[in-house]
Each structure stands twice: as structure tokens, then as C-alpha cells.
Structure 1
């Protein structure tokens, strides 16, 4: 054998070998061929590397084809120029000592071939140019798509990529190895290696929805005399592309009794617009609970989000698969457009130990006498689907959650195994000590299940109830109602508050330093001279000792004057009428001043008088209960000069000649003191 045998990777190199019987008798021979690289060798019509010849007569020969299969290129191997030696050996069935070998060399030829693939914005292949899906873009957006090129031959090759677009108004260019080229890039690619060329497109703001721009990328083997190329391309479509996908791990949701089981879902926005989301699940079977934990209300474009789906199996649910699947649905909306996806989840119930706690009716723990036991009767139910026991613990705490040492609890701390649906009762004895407060306390009962390996214990169940001791024997046991800190705060703060209130009351009290002020009713308008006159009258300073005469008889006039004085200070029935007009400057009046000022001439024309002889005439009807004086209206008759007069309380004394001309009684009440002061010096 010999010759120049060559084959490309993935091809076949073949040759023939002939066996001739040169002996003197009929003989049968066997042919075996092997590759130095261990590549497959096939002989004759079979695919085996060993074959038995038919018996050959003397000098008879028989040819046999030998085929060597060159493996395809994997990561550039076998490389071009690789040589494989084939060894073929002939043996005789008649003569074990006979053996003859032949050799042949096969050289691996060059294989210059490459592949390309164009991807969209999400990294999904768009397919061949003739059937490629459009790539949806938005106005004013800058997008990047990529094309990968792989050298699937066994030798380094030069390549070029050329960009062409139908609408040259769009800004489009190529980026390779960080360098921008507007229409063509060139590079060399080693065997088994890949590279990426990026296409950047700037969508003008002037484009409108529905506009398209077709583009193509032509990858060519850049050698003279070759015409090997691949063209990829698609359309840019201006508009909104809404896309959602909802995926899971594919496994069944494992549900437990009495506790939430979490199952992860993945939501992917495959479109180019942000979506508002609306989640829903199918109606659960009776006793089941479904829910989606913190389901996102929106998702941005080209974003993936993990969502947790929760499920609780009903009490005493049997272990095993559930026939009914659960559908989780999500609808994404963009303005008036929407897209909907859903996924059906299969359920299976796993072995679970779950206990329930409840109080028996005979529980009695309110108003307990001190140092006397009360009973809490707890019913423990196995609500799971697997047998198991558990441990019980209980503490008693106050309103702040702190354990109260003045109460004692006695109970069995563990219980035996319970079958599904079985229940037992546990008694907890509660005893308040002699120092226990009568406020509300809380007993917290906790149970922790224990089961065989492989059984899920869902929760440690907790039950709380209130207990109280009998009312305190003292009149008021504040310390038993509130905490120690609050009790001492009340004890300290109340005296401080009382002290501050008393100090403020004392500081706001009015003290009269002028003895004259105490002789005038509060709020009564009068002058300083009138105050002095009242003081003198009260102290009887003007009474001369030698003329002081005491009479034992009381006249009718004195009786009437006394009645007027006493009646004048009493309030009238019903609300007092308010006078009109503004008060004069000076001390404020008891009521509003009259609307009209007295005549100006009155302040200068009347003769001078003194306070001692100024009185007001008292009519006989005063003794019969009539009210005059401060409550007398301006229409009542005025006293005339020369009459025997008495003073009316709350009003300046009227002159003996009567009121000045043009004055009313109401005007005199407010401005009479000023008139008297002006005329006293004349």
C-alpha cells in the first residue's frame, strides 16, 4: 500500500487490500485493520474492522476495501495536516504461524468552514433570514443586537462581515472588539473559536408606529478564489411588543398541613415595555389555602422576577398526589394592550405532624382565691397525617410580657404519641400566691411536636388565655393593676402636680393693698373722691363727738331708705338690660354707658353741693316692694329739689335740686361722679 491518502474531518479515506493464496493447497485467511488514532475502520461491506475471507484456491486472490472515518472537528481538532497510520494484518486459519502486515498513512485535509447566528434584544435566535422574526423597537431608542461567528473548521480563516440596511436615514453601525465600523469589519478566527459582532441602531424620533427597516449581515470567507458566505438579517419594527412568560422548576408543589409551603415561580418580561400586573389563582379545593407572597404589581421591560407561591393543605389531608392542579394566572397591561400567561401547578401532600390546641369548657381561672388552685384544661388534637408526640410548656406573664413569679403552674411536660385525628386532655394547675396582684395575667401555652424521620413538624403551636386573682383585700390595690414602674410614677407625680397647682392659684389671687378699694363693690364705677367719702362714712370720721345723738325711735323714712338700699343690691328677675353707648374714660362701669352724653352746660351751671346732703326721694311704694335706684329706668319720675332724699346704692348721690337739666338717670349713674367732682370746688 502507500499513496497520498487524504480526507477532511467528518470524511472517509478509503483504499483496497488484496489477499492471494500463494501456497499449494486451499487456504482460508483473516484480515484485521486498526487506526493509530483509534479512529473507526471498516472492511468490505461490513462496519467491522475484522473480516474472514472465503477459502482461496492455489494462486486465487480476493480484494477487500478498507475505509477510515475521520472524526468531525471538535474545538479545532483534528487539525489540518494530522496523519493517521492504518495497520492491516492477514493471518491464515490453516497455518497459525502465518502473518503478514501492510501499512497506510491518511492525512487530515484543511476544512475552512464557519457558522453564524443572529440574536434579538433578549438574546433569542431570530432564525434564517427568510423566516426571521422582526425585532420590535421604540421611537428614539438605541438598540443593540449581536451576531456570533464560529470557526467550525480545523484551520485559522480570514473573515469579513458587511452591514446593509434598507433605510439609510437610521443610524446603524458595527462594533467589533470595541472599534466602530460603519459598514464592514474584518478579522481572523482560530479553529474552534467564536467571536461576536454587534449591530447598533438608533431609531429616529420622527419614525411612527409600524415603520420598518430591514437590514442584513453578510459574513464571507475573505480569500481570493472563494465564494463562501452566509447572510443573516431581519427587520426592525417600530412599536410595542408585549411579552410575558411564567416558569417553574417543573417539580410538584409539596404541601404541608397547618403551615405555608413556599414554591418559586419566575416571571419574565420578554417585551419592550413596562407592564402593570394583575395576579389571580384558581378557586382552591375545600379546606385548601393558596396565596402569592408579595406578588409584584409591575415589571420593567426585559426583567425577570421571582415570585413565591404559598399553599396550605387542610387538616388530616392524606399523604399523596392531588388530582386537581392549580392554575396561576397573570395579566400584563400596557395602556389599552394586554398579554396573559398562566401555569398549572401539580400538588402533593407530604407527611406532616401538626397539633391543634383548644380550651375545654371546664377551664376556670378567673377571680382565683389566693393560694388556691385553678385548672386550665387543654385539648390537644393531632390534625396532621402522621403520628407523633410532643412536649408542653407554659408560663404566666404580666401585661408587659414579663414572667410573674407570684403565680405557679403545675402540669405534665410531655405527652405520648397521637394518631391522626386523636386527641388528649392536659390539665394545668394555676395558683396565685398570697402576694399575687389582682390584675389580669396571661398564660402562654406552647406545644412542640416530635415525629419520626421524614415527617415534617409544621409549627410549634401557641395558645394564650387570661387569668385573674380575686380582688385585693385593701380598699384600692393600685399596685396590682399596673406595673411597679407605673405605680411608683403615679405616687411621685401626683404630689408634684398638686404642689404646682396650689402655687399657681396663690400667685394668681388678687390682694387689695388700698383699703379704699374694699369699700367699693367690684366693678362699680366711681371716682377717687367718692371712694374717700365712702371710707370716711364707713369710719364715721366726719361725725363730731359733741353733736353725736343716738335716738331710740326709727322713722318711716329710715325704714324706706333701708329697704331701698337692700333691694337695690339684688339682681332683677331675668337678664339685666345692657345700656347703649360707650363708657367714659377711667374706671370701667358695671354696665355699658348710655348712648348720649349729658349736656355740656350741666357740668358748669349747677350749683355746688356736698356729698353729705345729696339724697334721692323715696316714694311710698318702695315700702311695698317696688324696686328703684340702680334698676330705675329713665322714664320714672326724678326727685325734685327740696325733697328729703336718700342715696341709692351703686350710683353717685343726686344733688338736692335734682338731676341737672337734660340729664337722665342712666347718664347720672355713669357720669354723675365726674359732675360732682367738677362742681364741688365752686
Structure 2
């Protein structure tokens, strides 16, 4: 409960500056903690403030008789925030002008009370005004006193002192009349047996202490209840009471000491709200109650006496606690259940009760509309009842717990802050019911797939195998069985599910204990025939029952994957041997994507003098196909052994404007190599037209073009165009061996041909063959032929004037043929210069075109086919001579 108080200043107030005091009062029956927030343009001033209140002067009787001893109780408190220090108080009878009490008091702390009692007597009748004054010497700086603020240090109370003549006295328990003031006060103070009685019957007497016979009337006030804070204020009780006196009067009493000076009466008080004879007892309400009995002269009302009867009804703490809805209390995990506990106050005062509930399994409990397991009931009046709901929350399933059938005990204890003996316990069993719950999650190559409507497709390449994990979790608290079904949009795409030892392309069965999970592995295959953009949809259904199932959906899409790989067939370092032959490196180009690829080839920069080229590389490769590629590498002559470099090879693949490149780096190194170059003077051809049974020789130069000293053997032979060695002529070579010829050094080699007399006509080749110690064979060929003339005299048996011109023509032809001879060791490869740019040729072309271009043997053989006869010579001469002009006819 929040209280907000605003201070409003009247209009026209001249100033709003001053000292203000805030007072907080609690009128409840028990202590109450509170906090206060003050919003003001103000400064807290700690000061003391001694003050009186309504009951600061409390006499034992407000209508004492003259000469009676009256007890006066004084009380006051310091409502400030600072201790008061020493101060002085006085009680004055203003009517008589006398000081009844004067005392110096020690310091009183802020918020504390102080009290004192004293006895006094009054000798005169009438109204006496009693005045209590605090800090009479003005020793204490206060917020409110006679100097400043509101003077709250003074309180006046009037009492009426009556003359002696009548006295009302309640009898003691033994029926005797008490004689002393203390005994009379004790007799007027009684306790009621509330558990067995609903009222009181109290005997009392009216005694005449005057002279003469007097008529006396008697009045009895209603039952009243003093205020708890201000006892001088009498309130009407909540219960309804009746009061009766056995005789109503008036009574005639004789003078004191005579026979009829006293009348014996009985006062009956009955609580009409109480009842002890029903099914439910209703006790009289607890509290302190008073009844004033007054006797007065009927013809002189100022002579009277009032005796206050005070009776106490003790508190009865009694409560009925009744649970309801405690049978069959159950709930699923994650749910809640509850029951009620009703409390009825069967005591005799408003009571407050506290209920606290606990769970043996530490489950959450909420009482009523709160979120606490401990709650105080609203204060209950007599026979009022209230039902408190107990809400029990069963925790969600974790690892299969709480299991179905588990029983948890809920213990509720009802206590009362006003009755330490009250301790009522109720125990209720809460049963965990079955929860059949599960979930399935599909995980792909990139993680969780998610809901089917939002799931992104998984892109895969042709021929790929895509793996999924389908996780099924039993989130319930009881074992559950499942059927897992796989449906494919295109059944031609292969798929397989596997779980433990089960494999299937359509469905699997499995059982899961509570709290357990299982992973079903899914293997989806993209067929080789799939092309870019093809797709397939897969639906996984996990079914526990016809009404309980989950669906997970995913799709595979063949991606627009361009991928090409360039691989070396035989991995390792490429050894490029120095020689006349290329070193060939075999490569594979693989189209690992799903689109046809056009290929373009290139390579990185090789060192100076090296020859690198592709041999007929493929310009196209199909999907998931491969092609062979050959790279020809030729190092320059005399390259040092151990020389090496990294040769980058590139293939650029394209499809419809999209490109992908693959690179392969090949390590090329030169090993120790034997190689020789053989050449001869191209300006002479001494081996042509060798006479039969004659001989001719030609000098050749052999150079070590390798990278290590050269040793080996030499031999020579004559071969025809088909490579067959001729046996109709002898051939020699000198020297026949070479030993440790240094790199770059040369040596002259002489080849000699000696035809037999029956040597065949035609052009043949003298082949000089060098075989190194490492079995490297180098050959060099020079044209050779024998003379076509088989002379019977002169040149071809012709006349000199015919033979000499013919011989000159043959010599010219031989010179031209000799100049066209080329050295095999110094050949300049210009073949690629004759090829169109970006075209590729077969590097294995040396020798063939040259041989064909230089092969004139057939024409020679046609021109010199043998001996010319005499008739042929004569016919030729006749054709060249001028014939005589024929004669004209007559």
C-alpha cells in the first residue's frame, strides 16, 4: 500500500518558507516496516519534539470520591529525530493551583516514549483540571513548543470529584465486600472463561456512606471497548452485548451503619454474537471491555459514584484447515496442476495465517495469484474462511526425467504469527503423467536445414554424394517408437537412409527411450546424368502415430559448377635430357564440373633457349570427361646438369561467358646427358657419283653438345630410303671411337665409301652413327651415289663436244644439291615459323620434309639411266643439225 500526501498552502499565504514535520502513524496490530520518500525543496533538520497525546493523563477514575486515593498515569513521547537531552515535567491541579507532580527526566531518544505514575487525593468536590507540562524550563530545542511552532507540550484533563455518600463495589470471588481501594479495583477487574461461557454474572453492592434515608437510582452503561492507542476513547464492541441487573430500582437506602444501608445486586452481561451450542462454536470476541455502573441520589444527582468494571476476554487461537482437490492430482512435464487448502478462523479474534508449501523434488510452487511458495492470508475475521490455491509446476523433460508415474510429495504447513502453537501440515501426492513429445531436425552440409518453407536448397555437383543427419529426439518421458519415411520427388536419384545396422531407401523403424536421441544418416546421390539446374526434393516424415508426426524437407540443386583440373600423369620431376629429341610430359585435363568446357592453353616463361610447346592439345572437354595433353620440352645444347626451373602450365576453361582456370606447376631439371652434333661442309658433296670400284671420302665434324665428357664408338653404313643397309659397297669411318671429349669440343671424322662394280644406281645415304657409352645414339646422313656411266670409251661414249656441256650441267646440279645439305647438329627449327599463330604442330617433324625436299634420286636415275647407244647418239645429232631446204617443184 502506497500513501501519497501533498501539502497544499492556502491562497494568499505570505511565505512558504518554514519548518515542517511529517508524522507516520501505524494503527495495525503488529509491527510494520516502511520507507518514506520526500520530494521537496527542503533540508532535513534533526530536532527533538516532546509532545503529549490524548492519554498522556490517565487517572484510575474520572469520578473519584473525596479522599479516595487516585492513581494517575502520565505518558509522552519524543516525536522528533534527535534525542531531547535532560528536561523537566510537572503535573498541576489548575483548579486548586497546586503542583501534584514535579520531576527531572533524563534524555529521551527520538521516537521513544516515556511514562510515570503517581498517587494523589482530592479534598474538594467538583471539577478539577489536571495539566501536564513538558520541558517547563525550556531546556530542549524543539520543533514545537511554547517558543515556536504549535505548543504540544501541554495537556489538560478534567476529572469530577464527588462527595462521599454512595459507593458501588463489586464483590470478591468469595462473596465478601473488599475494603481497600486496591481490593475494590481488583474485584472490578475480571477475566471471562471464553471457551465455556458467553457472558458474565457479577455480584456487586451499592453502599450508602451518608446519613439519613435516601432514594438511590442505578444506571449501567453499555459494554464498551477502550481504544488500543487512546484508552480514554471508548468504542462500541464488534459483538453485540446485553446487560441486565436483577433489580431495576430505585432503591431506598438508610444511613450508614443501619440495617438497610447496602443493597446486593447482580449484573449479567451476555455476548449475543457468541454461541457454544452449535455445530461450530463461536466464541466471544477477544479484547478488553468496560462497563460503568453508576449509583446516585435520585433527588441530588451530584452525589454519585461510578465503578468501572473491566473484564478481559482472552484470545482463542483456533483454525480449521481443509484441503480440497487432492485426489488424482497429476500433470505432464512442463505443465501445472493444483489443489486448494481452505482456512477458517474459528478463534475469537481476527487472525492472520501463513501457508508455506514445499516440494520433495524442489518443483516450483505458487500460492494464489503470487509467484511465491510462502504467502500470508488476508486477516480473517471470526468464522471467516478463505481458500488458497496451490499451483504445482512440473518441470519440463530433461534426459527423460521426470519419468511417467513419478510421485512428488507436496507438503503445505499452515502457521499463525499470533499463535506459535499452530502448525497444521497437509501432504498431497502429485503424479507425473505421460508426455509423448518428440522433434526431428535435419542437418545438411551447411548446418541446420530449418523449416521446409524457408529452407535454402543445397547446391551440389554432378556425381556428388551429399550427406545429411536427421536427428530425432524423444522429448517425452516414456519410450516411443518411430517410423522414418523418405520420399523423393524424382525417384531416379539414388538415396539411402541408415541407422545402426538398418539401411533402406524408403523407411526405417526405431525405438527411443525417454530423453534419448538418434541420428539417421541420409546419403543423397546426384546422378552423373544430371545437368546444371536440375533439382530434386526430399521429404522426411517421422511418425509416432497417425496424428503425431513431423515433416522435414530439403532439396538438391545441381549448381552451375565450372571446374577443371590439370594433373600430371606421372607425378615427379621432369628430366629434360639434352639431345635432339623432345622430352614429353603427359598431362590429364579433367572436367569435374557439370558443363561442357572450351579450353585454351598457355604456359609460363621458360629460360632462354628452351623450347616448350603443347602437342595437339584438346580444345574441348565434356562434362565429367578427361583428355590427354602432351607438353614437349627441349633444353638447349650444352645445358649444365642440374639446371632446373618451375614451369607453370595453364588451362583456361570457358562456358557461355564464364571462365575457370587451372594451373599446374611442373618442375623441370636437366640430368647428365650425352649428346653430340655431327656436321659437314655443305658446299661440297664428294660422295656423289662415286665411280664403281672407286672410292670417295667426306670429312664430318663431331661436337660434344651434351653436359659431360663424351666417350663412345663410331661406325658408318649406307642405307636406302627404307633404311635397309646396302652390302654392295664398303664403308669405313675414322676414328672408330672417341674418349673423354670435353663439352663443346669437336673432332673430325672421315667417312669413306667404296662401291663395288655392281653397285646399284640411285641416291642413298651414308649414315655416320655415334653410340655413347651411355647408349645414346646420334646419326648423321650424307647423300651418296655411284656413277651412272658404264663407259666403253669417253664420257658415256659420246663425242667430247657433246659430253663436256653435259658434264658441266651435272656439276652445277651437284653444287646446288650440296648446298641444300644441312647439319643435324646445327639445324635451326623454323618449322613453327611456317605455322599460323596460335596453331600447334607436331614437334616430331625434323628430317621428313627435308628428306623429301632433297630426294632427287629418281630424277637423277631418270636422267642417267645407263649407257647411250650409237643409234641414240646419231638420232640426237641429226635432230640438232640444220636440214637443207627442199627444192621447189616445177
Using structure 2 for the length normalisation, give the TM-score: 0.31
Relative contact order (C-alpha < 8 Å, sep 6+): which is higher? 1
Instruction: Please state which structure has a larger fraction of its residues in helix.
Output: 1
**Rg (Cα) greater in structure:** 2
Instruction: Please state which structure has a larger fraction of its residues in strand.
Output: 2
